[in-house]
Structure 1
Amino acid sequence: MIRPRDLQAIGDEIAILWEDGAESYYRMSDLRAASPSAEARGEADLFGRVHGGERTRSHDGVRVDSWEWVGGYAVRFIFSDGHRTGLYSFAYLRELADRRDAPPSDAPTS
C-alpha cells in the first residue's frame, strides 16, 4: 500500500505527496462530496434499498478545517460544515485522483 509522505492544505485544495513521488490535488468541496461515510452515502438495507445520505446536497464552499491520521491506512478530514465521519483510506484517495485524471471514456485513442 502506498502511503502519503505529506499532506497540506493549499488554498481550497488538499495536496498529497505520496511515497512513490506522485502528487495528488483535491478540491476540498470535492472531497466532502466524495465522503465514504454512511452518513453521506446512505446505508443499504437487506434488499439493497439505500436509506439516508446526502445525494442532493451541495458542498460548494465547504473547507477542510483539519485532519487526523487513522491507523496506518486512512485520513479523517474535519470539514467546516461539521462533517467528520468519513474515513478516507489511502487506496480510496488514490482512486479518486486516478479517476479524476483519467481521460474521458469517449476520448480518442492513439
Structure 2
Amino acid sequence: MSAAQPWPQQVLLHERSGALALAWDDLGEHVLSGEHLRARCRCAGCEQGRRHGSPPRPDPATRLERISPIGEFGLQLHFSDGHERGLFPWAYLRELAMESAA
C-alpha cells in the first residue's frame, strides 16, 4: 500500500462563500469554511491566545479572501478580518479535512 500524497490534487477558493475546497486522492473533496480555518489558525499569535485561554473566535461571517501557495509546503490564507499570518501546511489541511469528515 502506497502512502497518500501529502498535498491535494485540487485546491479551489470559492469566492462567493469564502470557503476552501480541497480534493484529496484518497479522501475525496472537503470544503472548509473561512470561519473554521480562521478559528484553527496556528500562527504564533493565535497559539499564544489559546495558551492564555483566549483562542481565536472569528465572526461567523469570516471568509477567505485570497490564498497564496507557499511552494510545496502549503498555503498562506488571507481572511476577511485582515488576519494573514498563519501558514497552513498540507498535512494540517489534510488533518482538518479528515476532522470535517468525521
What range describes the TM-score normalised by the shorter chain of this pair?
0.7 to 0.9
Asked whether the 8 Å contact 2:35–2:61 carries over to 1, the reply is yes
Aligned length: 96
Secondary structure of the structure 1 residue equivalent to 2:83: coil
Specify every segment of 5 or more residues in structure 2 that has no aligned partner in the other structure, as ranges: none
Asked whether the 8 Å contact 1:2–1:18 carries over to 2, the reply is no
Residue aligning to 1:22: 28
Question: CA separation of 1:90/1:34 partners in 2, compared to 1, >3 Å: closer, same or farther?
Answer: same
Report how far residue 58 of structure 1 moved. Answer: 3.2
Distance 2:40 2:27 in 1: 24
Residue aligning to 1:40: 46
TM-score normalised by length of structure 2: 0.78
Q: Which has the larger radius of gyration?
A: 1
Runs of 4 or more off by more than 3 Å in structure 1?
none
Asked whether the 8 Å contact 2:38–2:56 carries over to 1, the reply is no
Choose which of 5, 10, 17 in structure 1 pairs with 2:9.
5
Percentage of matched positions with identical amino acids: 30
Specify every segment of 5 or more residues in structure 1 that has no aligned partner in the other structure, as ranges: 45-49, 103-110
Larger deviation, residues 7-16 vs 68-77:
7-16
- Greater relative CO, 1 or 2 (CA 8 Å, sep 6+): 2
